[in-house]
Amino acid sequence: MPSGRTHDRITLWSLPLVAGLTYGRTQSSNLTLLVAGGFLFGGLMFGPDLDIYSRQYQRWGWLRWIWLPYRKMMRHRSFWSHGPVVGTALRLLYLATWLSALSLVGVAIALALGYPVPDWPTATDLAQQSVLQYSPEVMALCLGLELGALSHSCSDWLSSTYKSTHKRYKTQGWKGLFYSKPKKRQRKSAPRAKPQSRIMPTKPQPRN
């Protein structure tokens, strides 16, 4: 598996390519900036390796404690953390849950201090209108996050595939590149029963 520095280099080297393809496709500087920013954030801080004590986890600084439950719930390199689309969607949902909880705490503090706060239905309607109004920007940001996560997962997969293929080539030669020999299962033989010692009956001695 590539190291954290290797993942960072892959993200930074791929950034000009992602930005160039996005601008060539959309001809929009705003969408290109959102895709590139999401790609950087997804590759450096919001990638699949948040399920372990990684460089991505450490970059959250004093806020990294919010990812402790995520690390305990996710098994490293599982489909739910490293899977395409699913991993990014779950991390977004997880982060949105934390943001909602912190928002409720902020609303409670504002109410206690006497500041006016919009009610829940009004805030929900405003959020929905904002998402619908800026749907291209939201989609561009989500695409950048997913591309950043994919660059990480694909590099892990390529590294694992190369190592396993190189190992088969060393042990089996060129044939190992096309097929691998199935491992033979060794059958455990049942323990042999110890032979029971037979006691020979003694012949009765004749009486005088």
Rounded CA-CA distance 135/137 in Å is: 5
Rounded CA-CA distance 108/32 in Å is: 38
Residues 88-115: b if buried by 16+ CB within 10 A, e if exposed: bebbeebeeeeeeeeeeeebeeeeeeee
**Nearest-5° Cα angle at 69, 112 to 110:** 10
The pLDDT confidence band at residue 112, using thresholds 50, 70 and 90, is confident
The pLDDT confidence band at residue 208, using thresholds 50, 70 and 90, is very low
Rounded CA-CA distance 41/8 in Å is: 11
**What is the 3 state secondary structure string of the chain?**
CCCHHHHHHHHHHHHHHHHHHHHHHHCCHHHHHHHHHHHHHHHHCCCHHHHCCCHHHHCCHHHHHHHHHHHHHCCCCCHHHHCCCHHHHHHHHHHHHHHHHHHHHHHHHHHHHCCCCCCHHHHHHHHHHHHHHCHHHHHHHHHHHHHHHHHHHHHHHHHHHHHHHHHHHHHHHHHHHCCCCCCCCCCCCCCCCCCCCCCCCCCCCCCC
The closest alpha carbon to 155, from 4, 46, 50, belongs to 4
Q: Is the pLDDT of residue 51 over 70?
A: yes
Higher-confidence residue of 85 and 163: namely 85
Q: How far lies 185's CA from each of 50, 164, 176, 182, in Å?
A: 37, 20, 19, 9
Percentage of the chain lying above the pLDDT 70 cut: 75
- Mean pLDDT along residues 76-99: 91
Rounded CA-CA distance 172/166 in Å is: 10
Rounded CA-CA distance 147/153 in Å is: 10
Q: What's the mean per-residue pLDDT of the chain?
A: 81
Weakest-pLDDT range from 46-55, 89-98, 178-187: 178-187
Higher-confidence residue of 147 and 103: namely 147
